[in-house]
């Protein structure tokens, strides 16, 4: 039955409807695959009993013709989403054994539509990282390897468990979150499709907060169509999140295969970096040609403040994180270290509970918000953010429908290879993705080719606010032209 | 701008994270690397630019001023390290 794991969500949906197999069989196949792939460390918690229960319930509904849009589809959930009565840790020691008495809005909508929970997926601690190396459960292994090499590569981050599990056929799709590139960069490193929706499209309620003005949930899947199917269930207005937008959720899947003829695709000159690998450059122009061949028009555009997005992000995101993470005080939940007085208790609990990257960001965030530095750092960064957003608005005002860029400046790298001496080295991974979060726009990463060592590379499409449909249409064109990429199984 | 060892200790205390003397030089180096990186923002002309306060232009939603949740004290204290009778327990604060 193991071949059931290689189906797409769209194919599985058909197979379930035509009774070729049951949801329980589909779930069992995935549970077996997960067990055989523990070396990847993609899951931090497997929930086989819950999965079988949910699959059985889905089968009963399917028989009665009452199955929802995701009936019986087994999914992995990033451990940043609160799942009722199931341990949720954000992969931080400080939340070691947190059992939420509530369910995140996004996951509750997936269960409403019939999806099956296989387990919780690894991520960088509090989603802070670009390699999944900062998780308290240890790093995740990318199922992809360089040709002829056994070197263990990172799957990207922070949604590294989600990307690795989807690429290694350990779930049919996964939830993920993206604050600076955490959906799109791991998708690019694993030849999967990942979309960060427009800020406000998915509810943030019940997702462990990192940087509230940047965080957004989205799916990682193996095809553009599958990502569209998942998006429809994940998106929607939620009164419990004041930034959630009350706009009807379109049928994203209907955008798959829709003509892109006459669309204007912006190619931003500022994304052509000095020293950019030739293969990234080649991939980018190839992608542009595919869109052109499908009838789109290519236009060179300028986004002059691009280079300031990453430094502005490293003020805004840590500032918001330092504020959000103030709640971990050892009083109401999570780790508590004994101490003589309450201040020491806070200090010891937080010193022991936070990993190095989280501590670093909380400290820098505290500094840029502290008296005397607020104007020079935080206020300035928020003004630069206005300029970054305006760059995109000017571009869209000229009739551009979407912008095409590389997703990452390189393919996946080795565990321990980056950021050891200087944290900024790791941060540069998000140079192409972070602008999108700063402007609150939707962005999709689609696999588009391989580098000379046989590793997958992705392209990114950036859209107008709440126009995810155009991204799905364009993403499908790239997918059709580039073909799909499957990691050879070695585990 | 860069931070010295005293500032690192002061920030750590503001953030309520215990930092040992041995960790200070290392943290100081990392924080200064980040500050050096963001320094390039000073070359941007921000005269007359409004800071971004809302990602998507929208009016702040307000919910009706009614009780719509509660009576879940067991749930609230369920994950706490130390409680008694639905109270959170902490080390003595008032002498």
Residue A2 pLDDT more than 70?
no
Query: For the purposes of burial, counting CB atoms within 10 Å of the CB of B43, is it exposed (0-12), middle (13-18) or buried (19 or more)?
Result: exposed
Q: Which residues of A are known catalytic residues?
A: 78, 158, 182
pLDDT, position B63: 85
**A-chain residues within 8 Å CB-CB of B79?**
97-99, 332-334
Residue of A nearest to B51 (CA): A383
Of A98, A200, A331, the CB nearest to B90: A331
- Domain-embedded: residue B25: yes
pLDDT, position A405: 98
- Domain-embedded: residue B23: yes
| Average pLDDT over every residue of A340-354 | 97
Calculate how close chain A gets to B11, using CA atoms only, in Å: 6
Q: In what order do the strands lie in the sheet with A173-178?
A: A43-46, A116-121, A74-78, A173-178, A216-221, A193-196, A443-450, A456-463, A402-406, A264-268, A297-301
- Domain-embedded: residue B24: yes
| C-beta of residue A470 within 8 angstroms of C-beta of residue A255 | yes
Percent of the residues in chain A that have a pLDDT greater than 90, as a whole number:
96
Q: Model confidence at A83, in pLDDT bands (50, 70, 90)?
A: very high
Pairwise CA distance, residues A237 & A252, whole Å: 16
Judged by a CB distance cut-off of 8 A, whether residue B17 touches chain A is: yes
- Domain-embedded: residue B34: yes
A372-400 pLDDT, tens digit per residue, is 999 999 999 999 999 999 999 999 999 99
- Domain-embedded: residue B77: no
- Domain-embedded: residue B74: no
| C-beta of residue A476 within 8 angstroms of C-beta of residue A257 | yes
pLDDT, position A276: 87
Judged by a CB distance cut-off of 8 A, whether residue B94 touches chain A is: no
Name the phi and psi angles at A222, rounded to 5.
Answer: -90, -15
Q: Model confidence at B54, in pLDDT bands (50, 70, 90)?
A: confident
pLDDT, position B66: 95
A277-291 pLDDT, tens digit per residue, is 899 999 999 999 999
> What residues 21-80 of chain B have any CB closer than 8 A to a CB of chain A?
27, 30-31, 33-35, 37-42, 44, 46, 49-53, 55-56, 58, 60-61, 63, 72, 75-80
Q: Model confidence at A183, in pLDDT bands (50, 70, 90)?
A: very high
Pairwise CA distance, residues A163 & A78, whole Å: 10
A300-313 pLDDT, tens digit per residue, is 999 999 999 999 99
pLDDT, position A424: 87
Residue A338 pLDDT more than 50?
yes
Residue of A nearest to B62 (CA): A242
pLDDT, position A275: 85
| Average pLDDT over every residue of B15-43 | 96
Percent of the residues in chain A that have a pLDDT greater than 70, as a whole number:
100
A316-329 pLDDT, tens digit per residue, is 999 999 999 999 99
3-state helix, strand, coil in chain B (%, to 5): 40, 5, 55
> What residues 69-88 of chain B have any CB closer than 8 A to a CB of chain A?
72, 75-82, 88
| Average pLDDT over every residue of B65-73 | 93
Counted residue by residue, chain A has a size of 491
User: What average pLDDT is seen over chain A?
Assistant: 97
Of A370, A387, A440, the CB nearest to B44: A387
- Domain-embedded: residue B57: no
| Domain tally, chain B | 1
Q: Model confidence at A96, in pLDDT bands (50, 70, 90)?
A: confident
Q: Model confidence at A1, in pLDDT bands (50, 70, 90)?
A: very low
| Average pLDDT over every residue of B3-17 | 97
Of B38, B63, B79, the CB nearest to A239: B63
- Domain-embedded: residue B36: yes
Residue A274 pLDDT more than 90?
no
**What residue numbers bound the domain in which B14 lies?**
5-43
pTM for this model (two decimals): 0.97
Q: Do B49 and A245 touch (CB under 8 A)?
A: no
pLDDT, position A443: 98
Pairwise CA distance, residues B82 & A264, whole Å: 60
């Amino acid at each position: 039955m193991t071949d059931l794991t290689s189906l797409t969500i769209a194919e599985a949906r058909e197979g379930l409807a035509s009774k070729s197999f049951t949801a329980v069989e589909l779930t069992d196949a995935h549970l077996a695959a997960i067990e055989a792939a523990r070396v990847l460390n993609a899951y931090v918690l497997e929930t086989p009993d819950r999965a079988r229960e949910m699959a059985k319930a889905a089968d009963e509904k399917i028989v009665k013709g009452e199955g929802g849009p995701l009936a019986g589809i087994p999914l992995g959930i990033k451990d940043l989403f609160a799942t009722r009565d199931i341990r949720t840790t954000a992969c931080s020691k400080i939340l070691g054994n947190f059992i939420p008495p509530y369910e995140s809005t996004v996951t509750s909508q997936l269960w409403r539509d019939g999806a099956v929970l296989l387990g919780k997926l690894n991520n960088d601690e509090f989603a802070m990282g670009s390699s999944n190396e900062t998780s308290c459960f240890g790093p995740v292994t990318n199922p992809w390897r360089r040709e002829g090499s056994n070197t263990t590569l990172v799957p990207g981050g922070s949604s590294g468990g989600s990307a690795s599990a989807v690429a290694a056929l350990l779930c049919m799709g996964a939830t993920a979150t993206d604050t600076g590139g955490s959906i799109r960069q791991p998708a690019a490193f694993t030849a999967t499709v990942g979309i960060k929706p427009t800020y406000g499209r998915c509810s943030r309620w019940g997702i462990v907060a990192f940087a509230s003005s940047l965080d957004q949930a989205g799916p990682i899947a193996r095809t553009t169509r599958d990502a569209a199917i998942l998006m429809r269930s994940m998106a929607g207005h939620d009164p419990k999140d004041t930034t959630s937008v009350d706009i009807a959720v379109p049928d994203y899947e209907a955008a798959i295969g829709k003509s892109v003829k006459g669309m204007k695709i912006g190619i931003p000159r500022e994304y052509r970096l000095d020293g950019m690998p030739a293969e990234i450059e080649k991939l980018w122009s190839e992608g542009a040609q595919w869109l052109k061949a499908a009838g789109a028009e290519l236009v060179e555009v300028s986004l002059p403040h691009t280079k300031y997005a990453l430094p502005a992000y490293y003020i805004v995101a840590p500032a918001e994180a330092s504020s959000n993470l103030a709640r971990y005080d050892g009083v109401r939940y999570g780790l508590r270290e004994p101490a003589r007085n309450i201040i020491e208790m806070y200090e010891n609990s937080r010193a022991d509970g936070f990993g190095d990257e989280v501590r670093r960001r909380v400290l820098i965030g505290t500094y840029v918000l502290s008296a005397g530095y607020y104007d020079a750092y935080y206020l300035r960064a928020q003004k630069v953010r206005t300029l970054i957003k305006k760059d995109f608005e000017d571009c869209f005002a000229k009739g551009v429908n979407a912008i095409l860029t590389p997703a990452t400046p390189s393919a996946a790298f080795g565990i321990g290879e980056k950021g050891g001496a200087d944290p900024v080295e790791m941060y540069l991974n998000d140079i192409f993705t972070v602008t999108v979060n700063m402007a609150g726009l939707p962005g999709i990463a689609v696999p588009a080719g391989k580098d000379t060592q046989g590793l997958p590379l992705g392209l990114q499409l950036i859209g107008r606010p709440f126009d995810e449909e155009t991204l799905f249409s364009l993403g499908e064109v790239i997918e059709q032209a580039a073909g799909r990429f499957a990691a050879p199984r070695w585990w | 701008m860069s931070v010295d060892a005293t500032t690192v200790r002061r920030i750590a205390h503001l953030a309520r994270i215990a930092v040992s003397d041995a960790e200070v030089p290392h943290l100081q180096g990392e924080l200064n690397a980040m500050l050096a990186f963001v320094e390039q923002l000073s070359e941007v002309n921000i005269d007359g630019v409004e800071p971004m306060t809302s990602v998507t232009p929208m009016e702040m939603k307000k919910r009706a001023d009614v009780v719509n949740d509660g009576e879940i004290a067991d749930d609230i204290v369920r994950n706490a390290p130390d409680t008694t009778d639905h109270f959170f327990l902490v080390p003595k604060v008032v002498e």
